[in-house]
Amino acid sequence: MSENFDIAVIGGGPGGYVAAIRAAQLGFKVAVVEREHMGGICLNWGCIPTKALLASADVYSKIKHAQNYGISVSGATYDLAKIVERSRGVAKQMASGIGFLMKKNKVTVYDATAKLVKGTDAPKVIATAKDGKTTEIVAKHVILATGARARVIPQAGLEPDGKFIWTYKEALVPDTMPKRLLVIGSGAIGIEFASFFNALGSEVTVVEAVDKIMPVEDKEISDFAQKQFIKRGMKIMTSASVKSVKKNANDITAIVESGGKTQEITADRIILAIGIVGNVENLGLEELGVTVDRTHIVTDGMGTTNVKGLYAIGDIAGAPWLAHKASHEGIICVEKIAGKKVHPINPRQIPGCTYATPQVASIGLTEAKAKELGYEIKVGRFPFVGNGKAVALGEAEGMMKTIFDAKTGEMLGAHMVGAEVTEMIQGYAVGMGLETTEHELMETVFPHPTLSEMMHEAVLDAYGRAIHI
């Protein structure tokens, strides 16, 4: 059977389904081929279900510290199975919403695995359903949005074993509450799980290969967060790497090397969060001659690959591996196909969020990176303890930091750690998108009392004008 479309999207995650909807809005006839479930990792095994877990952990922490707010609660316990059930329910609800959106936009969805073969306008897509039935999809444009998966290192024994070693996928549906948990990797995924299990009582150790946790963040923010995590009971080892693992009868021992010395850390479970690899296999990319660099397809930043009619967006098209970057790339790619005026995403304007306790959010250059690039900079800082709302909420631990080009006043970066910062970073994203200078931010009236006032203060501080410190 052969079907014709204007645009075929391979992968129904936040890159693929958003591209499909935008394409439908622009009047294209669109198909999506998804091998597992609409919504991709983000909705089903990533962003959303982890936020549900962390929400449960947050409620539990709040109850445990209720006496700080003058409320007595005794005997608070949790039920891991119910926490997980809630998380799965949230994921399911959101994923079914995507199904509705596909119908609403008249996008044809194939529950099938895709493989590309040579075509005329663009490669042809052979979609094979679970029952073995194949459909040949002939589209003028094919967008690859197959995403990525957890990186594993089988040589060191670092791969899921069905018991002791988890990736995010197993960690989202834990069979047990590990008494001792070793998290390898301290990026957003590792730190969020570390934070979740720590809040529920696990003894958590985080091992990070570079010299600071959350390597992409500003050093000052990483250090601040690290102190907070340690205060909450986590153990953190930086400049350390796991050389091998040794499985025991009831637990697992990791051999960790740090500063030339090795030590053994025994845990009930290990979570692997050492990065991701692009899903580039079994798609027929080699036969088509698609340029792939270390599991990522090379594009021009607007999705165009070296093969006519073939595009790639999201995780498979390279870092940063973020859902919102994938969605935005999907839109840019489709609009370019439609002949609209587009330009690639400015990587400096993609915010990043980590939903640990405390939260971390950032956009743009770190202080170190700005200096490395030769900017003369002005740096502003503001502590949560100087903000009335933060203190009233009992969230006085955190800070905001801004970085400006001293010459032009361009906002180069902003970094935050503390309560609700993930909801605030967008304010700076809007400003940077509109090419703000410090002046406009200073002139903006921020509502009182809000945590967002600290955004104002952090800007004022960069120019020696902060009011409340």
Partner 1 sequence: MPVDILMPALSPTMEEGVLAKWLVKVGDEIKSGDVIAEIETDKATMEVEAVDEGEVLEILVPEGTSGVKINTVIARISGDDASPAKPAPAAPQVASAPAAEAAKPAAAPQPVAVAKTDAGERIFASPLARRIAAQNNVDLKTIKGTGPNGRIVRVDVEGVKGGAAAPATAAVTPAAPVATQAAKAPSTIAATGYKEGNYDVIPLDGMRRTIAKRLTDSFRDVPHFPLNVDIELDKLLELRKQLNSQNENAKISVNDMIIKATALACKKVPEANASYTDEGILIHHHADVAVAVAIDGGLITPVVREAENKGLLTISEEVKTLADKAKNRKLMPEEYSAGTISVSNLGMFGIKSFGSIINEPQGCILSVGAGEQRPVVKDGALAIATVMSVTLTCDHRVVDGAVGAKWLKAFKRLLEEPLSMLL
Residue of 402, 394, 370 lying closest to 451 (CA atoms): 394
For 213-229, give the DSSP string: SSTTS-HHHHHHHHHHH
Residue of 239, 190, 185 lying closest to 212 (CA atoms): 239
Taking the complex as a whole, how short is the minimal distance between the CB of residue 373 and partner 1, in angstroms?
5
Q: Peptide bond preceding 154: is omega within 30 degrees of 0, i.e. cis?
A: no
Taking the complex as a whole, how short is the minimal distance between the CB of residue 312 and partner 1, in angstroms?
17
CB 299 within 8 A of CB 345: no
Q: Count other Cβ atoms within 10 Å, centred on residue 430.
A: 10
Nearer to partner 1, 12 or 314 (CB): 314
- H or E stretch at 40: helix 40-45
Residue of 431, 362, 386 lying closest to 221 (CA atoms): 362
Nearer to partner 1, 91 or 411 (CB): 411
Tokens of 213: 């946790």
Nearer to partner 1, 141 or 336 (CB): 336
> Can you give the binding site for partner 1, defined by CB under 8 A?
300-301, 341-348, 373-375, 405, 407-410, 434-437, 439-440
Nearer to partner 1, 405 or 453 (CB): 405
Measured CA to CA, the distance from residue 149 to residue 168 in angstroms comes to: 9
Taking the complex as a whole, how short is the minimal distance between the CB of residue 284 and partner 1, in angstroms?
29
Exactly one of 324, 328, 439, 448 is catalytic; name it: 448
CB 311 within 8 A of CB 143: yes
Q: Alpha carbon 283 to chain centroid distance? A: 25
Strand, coil or helix: 173: coil
Nearer to partner 1, 63 or 345 (CB): 345
Residue of 122, 129, 128, 120 lying closest to 143 (CA atoms): 122
Nearer to partner 1, 260 or 374 (CB): 374
Measured CA to CA, the distance from residue 363 to residue 422 in angstroms comes to: 11
Taking the complex as a whole, how short is the minimal distance between the CB of residue 464 and partner 1, in angstroms?
18
Taking the complex as a whole, how short is the minimal distance between the CB of residue 299 and partner 1, in angstroms?
12
452 contacts: CB under 8 Å, gap ≥ 6: 424, 427, 446
- Give me the sign of the Cα torsion angle 413, 416, 422, 425: negative
Taking the complex as a whole, how short is the minimal distance between the CB of residue 439 and partner 1, in angstroms?
6
Taking the complex as a whole, how short is the minimal distance between the CB of residue 444 and partner 1, in angstroms?
12
- Tell me the CA end-to-end span of the chain in Å, nearest whole number: 70
- H or E stretch at 190: helix 188-199
Q: Alpha carbon 328 to chain centroid distance? A: 14
**Is 324 among the catalytic positions?**
no
Nearer to partner 1, 226 or 436 (CB): 436
Nearer to partner 1, 170 or 405 (CB): 405
Tokens of 372: 């490395």
Measured CA to CA, the distance from residue 237 to residue 257 in angstroms comes to: 10
Q: Count other Cβ atoms within 10 Å, centred on residue 140.
A: 17
Taking the complex as a whole, how short is the minimal distance between the CB of residue 435 and partner 1, in angstroms?
3
2 contacts: CB under 8 Å, gap ≥ 6: 135, 136, 137, 138
Query: Tokens 């094979």 appear where?
Result: 128
Strand, coil or helix: 177: coil
Nearer to partner 1, 98 or 462 (CB): 462
Taking the complex as a whole, how short is the minimal distance between the CB of residue 14 and partner 1, in angstroms?
21
Residue of 83, 143, 133 lying closest to 113 (CA atoms): 133
Q: Which residues are catalytic?
A: 448
